[in-house]
A and B are shown apart, each in its own frame.
Chain A
Amino acid sequence: MTKLKAIAMVVFCTIITSAGQIFWKFGAMRLPDLLHNWPLWTGFCLHVIAAAILITSFKTGEVSVLFPMYATNYVWVSIMSAHFFHEPLNALKWAGMAAVLIGVILLGRGAHKHTEVVTP
C-alpha cells in the first residue's frame, strides 16, 4: 500500500462517516423509534465500515498525517447539510473548506515515505 493509497482510504472513510452522520440526523428525527428506524441502522453500519477502513489505512500510514485528514469530514458534512437540511453554504464555509483541503495537501506533503509499523 503506497502512502497515497492510505490517504485516499482516509478521505473515502470520511465520506462514509459523513454519510453515516447524515443518516443519524434523519434517524434522530424518528426517535424514540429504534427497531424500525432504518436510517439509524444504516448510519450505524456506515460508521462500522468507516472504522474498519480507518484501521486498515493506519497499517501503512502515520497517525500524525492520516488522523488530521479526518477534518475533511467537516467538508462533506457541510456540503451534505446544504443539500439535505438546507443549511446554506456561505463564504465562511467555503473559505473553511478550502483551508482544510490546503491543510490535507500539506499533510500529504509532510508524510514520511517509510512508515514503521509499530509492533505492539
Chain B
Amino acid sequence: MSATSWFAIYLVSFATLISALGPIFMKKGAAQFTVNPRKLLKNPGLLFKNYNAMLGCAFFGISAVFFVIGLKYGELSVLYPITSLSYIWACGLSVKYLGEKMNKYKWIGILCIIIGVALIGMGRAMH
C-alpha cells in the first residue's frame, strides 16, 4: 500500500479514538439538562454554557474533520470499517466511565454494524 494510504489509515484510526470521546461528554452534558427542550428553543444560550456538551461536540467535530481528510486519501473499503471502531471504543468508555453494561445483543449488534459498514465501504469502492 502507498504511503498516503497508510497516512489515511493512521489518521482515521486516530480520529476514531477522538470521536468516541464525543458521546461520553455529550451524555455527561445531557445529565446537566434539567430544563425541557422547549425552554432550550427559547434560550439556546443554555446549550453553549453546558461545557460537557460543548466539549463533546468539539471532539465530534475535530474527529469529523480528520475523517473527511482521511477518507479522501484512502480506500473506502478499508477506511469505512475502521471508522466503526469508534463504536467499540465508545462502548468501552461508557462501561468504564458511565456505568453502562454490555450484553450479547449489544455486542452482536455492533458486529452487524461493523460488517454492514464494511460492505457499504466495499460497495462505494467499486465505482
Contacts and interface: CB of A to CB of B under 8 A. Distances in A.
Give the contact-size bracket for chain B: 35 or more
Contacts, number: 165
Contacts of B115: 96, 99, 103
| Chain A contact surface mostly | helix
A30 interface: no
Interface string A50-68: 0110111111001111111
Interface string B31-63: 111000100100000010010110011001000
A104 B98 contact: no
B31 A120 contact: yes
A67 B87 contact: yes
Contact of B100 (A62, A89, A100, A104): A62
Interface in B83-127: 84, 87, 90-91, 93-95, 98-106, 108-113, 115-124, 126-127
Interface of A: 51-52, 54-59, 62-68, 70-71, 74-75, 78, 87-107, 109-112, 116-120
